[in-house]
Amino acid sequence: MVAKGQKRKLHREDEGGGSAWESQLQSVLDISMDKFHRDQALVEPCLLRSVLINNTLRQVQSEVRAQVESLSAVKIPTKSKPEADFPRLSPPAEHNTPLFSLNAENMDDDFMAWTSEEDFSLSSAISSILKDLDTAIDAGQGPCASQRAPLSSVENLTPYPLRTERTSDLASSVKTELMCPGCPQDVALDKLLLDIDTAVFEPEVNLLQGFSVTADDLVKYLPSLSKSPSASSSSSLVSHAQATWEIQEIEHVMDILMRTYPQS
């Protein structure tokens, strides 16, 4: 099931003559995302169509970015976020790509971070789409390969096995991510959010099959920290090393959620 928020326009103070452009942007975005999701469900989407839709999405992305950049020149007050629940985190060491840690003091930076996250999530979403397409379509040449050097069968294989699962158990998904260092954020963001406007304009928490996640909920789902008997792993016999690892796991999850939904 696709996590989708309500469609809303960006509430800006200066609407001006940009509303027609905005409404077309919104339409193109909605239609493109809808097509993208439908094509994802197909076993073999048409490559031409996928490329054109992806390029359109990229174009929308760059238009949004350009708009945001022009807006960030004007200081726009953003909504306040109760961030006392979440600890201040720095990105885990194994991540290769730069992450944007949130700074509660500087609202403008946060606004930029939102859109950068959205950009990041979108471009990583697009990347994972194309990777998916490739693994689905191009699993290697047949016996009559052309004279050119045959394509290696391991090219562009995605490192993580659980590409399309949406698991309600956040812990297991996090475990999977940590098994593949270097690309966990793709999986997390891919699963959690593909809808740009809800991230950019007004984040709406709609994870985990429909219920919103508060800090308490999150703690409940994490293994070994939960006091309830439904915890998946044994909490009583946890070693110090494992506890440390699990704390890092939690921090990592928090970090992702913070960046995706700064206010929960």
Partner 1 sequence: VNAPRGGVGGGNDFQWCFSQVKGAIDEDVAEADIISTVEFNCSGELLATGDKGGRVVIFQREQESKNRLLSRGEYNVYSTFQSHEPEFDYLKSLEIEEKINKIRWLPQQNAAHFLLSANDKTIKLWKISERDKRAEGYNLKDEDGRLRDQFRITTLRVPVLMPMDLMVEASPRRIFANAHTYHINSISVNSDYETYLSADDLRINLWHLEITDRSFNIVDIKPANMEELTEVITAAECHPHQCNVFVYSSSKGTIRLCDTRAAALCDRHSKFFEEPEDPSSRSFFSEIISSISDVKFSHSGRYMMTRDYLSVKVWDLNMENRPVETYQVHEYLRSKLCSLYENDCIFDKFECCWNGSDSAIMTGSYNNFFRMFDRNTRRDITLEASRENSKPRAMLKPRKVCTGGKRKKDEISVDSLDFNKKILHTAWHPKENVIAVAATNNLYIFQDKIN
**The only residue of 1, 41, 48, 93 in contact with partner 1, by rule CB under 8 A:** 48
Q: Is 164 in the site for partner 1 (CB under 8 A)?
A: no
Could you give the CA distance from residue 142 to residue 180 in angstroms, rounded to a whole number? 30
What is the per-residue binding string for partner 1 in 66-105, x denoting contact by CB under 8 A? Answer: ----------------------------------------
The single residue listed with the structure tokens 């016999």 is 237
**The only residue of 148, 216, 228, 234 in contact with partner 1, by rule CB under 8 A:** 148
**The only residue of 85, 94, 138, 165 in contact with partner 1, by rule CB under 8 A:** 138
Helix (H) or strand (E) holding 43: none
Q: Return the range that interacts with partner 1 (CB under 8 A); candidates 7-15, 50-58, 77-85, 92-100.
A: 50-58
Could you give the CA distance from residue 117 to residue 56 in angstroms, rounded to a whole number? 19
Give the count of beta carbons closer than 10 Å to the beta carbon of residue 161: 9
Could you give the CA distance from residue 188 to residue 13 in angstroms, rounded to a whole number? 33
Total residues contacting partner 1 (rule CB under 8 A)?
A: 39
Cβ closest to partner 1, residue 15 vs residue 34: 34
Q: Is 134 in the site for partner 1 (CB under 8 A)?
A: yes
Q: Which residues, in sequence order, are CB contacts of 44 under 8 Å at separation 6+?
A: 136, 137
Q: Is 121 in the site for partner 1 (CB under 8 A)?
A: no
Could you give the CA distance from residue 189 to residue 181 in angstroms, rounded to a whole number? 15
**The only residue of 4, 10, 40, 56 in contact with partner 1, by rule CB under 8 A:** 56
**The only residue of 80, 90, 96, 146 in contact with partner 1, by rule CB under 8 A:** 146
Helix (H) or strand (E) holding 16: none
Structure tokens at 248: 């890092």
